[in-house]
Amino acid sequence: MNFQDLLDTKFLVTAAAGAVIGASGILALSALKGSESHSTRKTHPKWKSGNPRREYCTMHSNIIDTPEIIELREITQQHERGVMESTPDVGQFLRFLMRMLKAKNVVEVGSFTGVALMRMAEELPDDGKAFALDVSDEYVNVGKPVLKKAGLLSKIEYKIAPALDSLVKLKEEGYTGKIDLCFIDADKGNYPNYYKLCLDLLRPGGIIVFDNSLYADRVITDVTSDPNCYIHETNEKAVVDTRVSSLLLPMGDGCLVLRKNDE
């Protein structure tokens, strides 16, 4: 049995056990509304990426999922564009950042059904605000009833328009230098523009996370075709930008993390 066979066998055994544990876990979690639960481990459809290193990492991450997140994930995975949902490891990372930054004002560029949005909104204080930017009312409306049921809608302000316009509007509304965390996960061609506008909005010490910064590793071998070139341009810009410190993490589909320097 070679290493891959061993991995496959272990996967089948653990997946079967995981299905049982996962099913009973979800039942138990339904009684734990509002509390922290750890369930994504083997139940999330996205944990099986086909990459043994990523799967091992997800298996060994105690990802916090509330019953409402589980419900929203299930609805999202039934959606024809469900593949756009962000991965649970990235969601967990955002949750960590929210806690570390004690974030009060956050922006998501590209919310889709709201899975990452929900994780961030769960971490906000009652007077916190999550600006959820998307062009599609249709996508956002898929998740809204679950976010409402979770009591989170009062902390969310949707802006349904091209995100460039919404970011400019946030500046006009006085949010320059006031945002703690930006999660950027929309059209890749605008990543360099989102970089500029979100950095203006960020407070010193605030953090921007770009998702898909490796774009299924395609950015590593081809930096000329669209949209790789825009993602690459953003990654390159971060390395030389003296206003930030940066870290490109091989997590999920690649996450470029920028921290705006203290003044």
Ligand X SMILES: C[S@@+](CC[C@H](N)C(=O)[O-])C[C@H]1O[C@@H](n2cnc3c(N)ncnc32)[C@H](O)[C@@H]1O
Assess 110 for contact with ligand X (CB under 6 A): yes
What angle (nearest 5°) sits at the alpha carbon of residue 35, between those of residues 32 and 41? 85
The stretch among 133-141, 199-207, 214-222, 229-237 that binds ligand X (CB under 6 A) is 133-141
Asked if 193 touches ligand X (CB under 6 A), the answer is: no
| Angstrom distances, CA of residue 71 to CA of 58, 108, 206, 215 | 20, 20, 30, 27
CB of 79 or CB of 149, closer to ligand X: 79
Mask of contacts with ligand X, 64-93, x by CB under 6 A? --------------------xxx-------
Q: According to CB under 6 A, which one of 163, 167, 197, 257 is a site residue for ligand X?
A: 163
Q: Name the minimum Å distance from CB 117 to ligand X.
A: 7
How far lies 44's CA from each of 26, 99, 127, 151, in Å? 12, 23, 31, 23
Using the rule CB under 6 A, which residue among 18, 157, 162, 168 binds ligand X?
162
Q: Does 192 bind ligand X (CB under 6 A)?
A: no
Site for ligand X in 194-233 (CB under 6 A): none
DSSP string across 130-155: EEEEES-HHHHHHHHHHHHHTT-GGG
User: What CA–CA distance (Å, rounded) separates 152 from 43?
Assistant: 24
Edge-to-edge strand order for the sheet containing 105-109? 156-160, 129-134, 105-109, 179-184, 202-211, 255-260, 244-249
CB of 10 to ligand X, least distance (A): 29
- If one asks whether residue 139 binds ligand X (CB under 6 A), the answer comes out as yes
Dihedral sign from CA coordinates of 108, 114, 115, 120? positive
Helices 88-101 and 52-59 sit at what angle, rounded to 10 degrees?
50
Our CB check for ligand X shows the closer of 92 and 111 to be 111
Measured between alpha carbons, how far is 172 from 55 in angstroms, rounded to an integer? 43
Q: Which one, 11 or 171, has the nearer CB to ligand X? A: 171
Shortest distance, position 84 Cβ to ligand X, whole Å: 4
Least distance to ligand X, CB of residue 253, Å: 10
CB of 73 to ligand X, least distance (A): 9
Q: What distance in Å separates the CA atoms of residue 104 and residue 155, rounded to the nearest whole number?
A: 10
User: Per-residue x/- mask for ligand X, residues 168 to 187, rule CB under 6 A?
Assistant: -----------------xxx
Return residues touching ligand X (CB under 6 A): 84-86, 110-112, 115-116, 133-136, 139, 162-163, 185-187
